[in-house]
Amino acid sequence: MKESNVKVTLHRARRIMEAYNKNRAASLSKRAHELRGTLQSFLSRLAEGDVEGLKKMLAADVVLISDGGGEINALAEPMLGRQKVLRLLTRLYEANRSVTSAALRVVNGEPAILVERSKVKPGHASFFTMHCELNGTGRMRRLNFVFSPGCQR
């Protein structure tokens, strides 16, 4: 390739990448906004005990995954299905409601729920995050809980 051809090719590639990055940023912003709204609604419904509302938010094939880094109690295997996930979430929330605070934050560039518990049993985390992925219809299809080993009590 001649130098002039390389310059033209580079110019075209930069223009294409600039357009790609603009579209990508707009898409990420839209997705982040949708995730934030979903997580806010999730927190509100959980606090209100709105089981039917929570059920409508979860995809039928929802998967819940938890990671304790080998130091914190977590599920040994992913939990599958709306009913099982809903039952686990509502029971854990009710059992720990009085010692739990939750807030929406941006974690690693994505909206997430930050949870802190003032009183926990040994081997449990006092601090963890919940991230989610949405399916094409806006329902929660994957819930990822990440427990912080450095914050156990």
Domain of residue 28, residue span: 3-151
Confidence of residue 44 (pLDDT cuts 50, 70, 90): very high
- Per-residue pLDDT tens for 51-98? 999 999 999 999 999 988 887 888 889 999 999 999 999 998 888 888
Looking at per-residue confidence, does 40 or 120 come out higher? 40
Quote the number of domains for the chain.
Answer: 1
The domain spanning residue 116 has which CATH number? 3.10.450.50
Does pTM surpass 0.85?
no
Question: Of 40, 50, 125, whose CA–CA distance to 94 is shortest?
Answer: 50
* Percent of residues, the chain, with pLDDT higher than 90: 49
**pLDDT at 149 (0 to 100):** 64
Q: In terms of C-beta distances under 8 Å and separation of at least 24 residues, what long-range contacts does 134-139 make, across chains too?
A: 134/34, 134/35, 134/38, 135/59, 137/59, 138/34, 138/38, 139/56, 139/57, 139/58, 139/59, 139/62
Q: pLDDT class for 108, splitting at 50, 70, 90?
A: confident
Report the mean per-residue pLDDT for the chain.
Answer: 86
Among residues of the chain, what percentage have pLDDT more than 70? 90
Q: Is the pLDDT of residue 151 over 80?
A: no
CA distance 21 to 26: 9
Q: Identify the residue whose tokens are 């989610």.
A: 132
